A and B are shown apart, each in its own frame.
Chain A
Amino acid sequence: METYVDAIGVDTEATTTTETTAKQNKKKLKVMVAMDESKNSFYALEWAVEHLRDVISAEPETDQAGGLLTLVHVHPTYLQYIYPSGGTASAMYAIDSVPESMKKAREESTTKLFTRSLEICRGKLMKTETMILEGDPKEMICQAVEQTHVDLLVVGSRGLGMIKRAFLGSVSDYCAQHAKCPILIVRPPRETSTSSSTKEHKSK
């Protein structure tokens, strides 16, 4: 189904495994970016859009179908949603009986998050889709990777964690070890003297 553009230099006389990789060569990547509300996450998305745009975007001139950029956001179901209604019974409180007001607030923040994210992806000739999941972020992300067979998972290095000294957040760390596909951890530029020079470097 993909137009097999003249692939110069691809070793076609090799074994079948090389042939299948040769076919995959021309396919653009399916990339999944994990988002939360942290600044780090948005930076990761911007970085991904800038550097990976070549490997995701469609090329109309060569009739090359584009890949796919999936933005996934996981609603964490933390214990804070359990209402302390007194007594030990509260511990058994079903986690998804989140009160209406919290649900609405959550939806609003998710909408804001995706609006902002899609703004970043606009005009880059990339097919973008969004996905909302609920549960433990690290496990849900790894599950989503398996189910959608993405080629690359992009995460920020640190999210909403309170431990500022940690170089790598818990979700990124977990995904680096357990995701079934290659993972790209985007590190924000250091806030020290090099930040101004990186800004100039990125002048496209």
Chain B
Amino acid sequence: MATGEEKPVMVVGIDESEQSTYALEWTLDRFFAPYAPNFPFKLFIVHAKPNAVSAVGLAGPGAAEVLPYVDTDLKHIAARVIEMAKGICQSKSVDGAMFEVFEGDARSILCDVVDKHHASLLVVGSHGYGAIKRAVLGSVSDYCAHHAHCSVMIVKKPKIKH
């Protein structure tokens, strides 16, 4: 029965922030590393690359010239993020993870990926913004907690008190 059964799917959303790295490491540490090679979940690691146009915005007359540079830059960032994620998985001997990069808004991408893979669990980090920053910058973790069609785990990097 165990061989024919499908493992539940876990999607981890990452960006280039420290909190994301922490969330990925925490998740791998607790849910994957101790159980090699029989991981309890099938793992998808997803990065949402912001659209160059949305990143620049309607910034004025010079925008069109800047776009290709911004685009290349974002591509580099995305590549770096995935490389780092692959590195983390390797260092914890977690294999079998699938890596995906999509372009667009992180919120909708993560929710779409959950639907696509029929995930049981979505894991995101959290920047820990206060109320005002949340209102201005928006919160991906908040959006996902409200709108994803599966259970959501928000992993926060503990604040070190000095």
Residues of A within 8 A of B (CB): 7-11, 21, 24-26, 29, 47, 51, 54-55, 151-152, 157, 167-168, 172-173, 176-177, 179-187, 190, 201, 204
Contact = CB atoms under 8 A, between A and B. Distances in A.
B103 interface: no
B142 interface: yes
Contacts of A9: 33, 36, 92-93
Interface residues of B, number: 34
Interface of B: 5-6, 8, 23, 25-26, 29-31, 33-36, 40, 91-93, 120-121, 141-142, 145-156, 158
Contacts of B158: 180-181
A187 B152 contact: yes
A201 B117 CA distance: 14
A24 B33 CA distance: 11
Contacts of A168: 145-146
Given A51-B8, A55-B30, A183 B91 contact: no
B153 A183 contact: yes
Contacts of A177: 142
5 contacts: A55-B31, A55-B40, A183-B154, A184-B121, A201-B6
B151 A11 contact: no
A51 B121 contact: yes
B145 A11 contact: no
Nearest to B33: A25
Contacts of B29: 21, 24-25
Given A9-B92, A21-B29, A185-B152, A26 B146 contact: no
A10 B33 CA distance: 8
A47 B151 contact: yes
B153 A182 contact: yes
A8 to B, nearest CB: 7
B145 A185 contact: yes
A36 to B, nearest CB: 17
A182 B155 contact: yes
A116 to B, nearest CB: 21
A12 to B, nearest CB: 11
Contacts of B26: 182
Given A10-B33, A54-B40, A176-B142, A184 B153 contact: yes
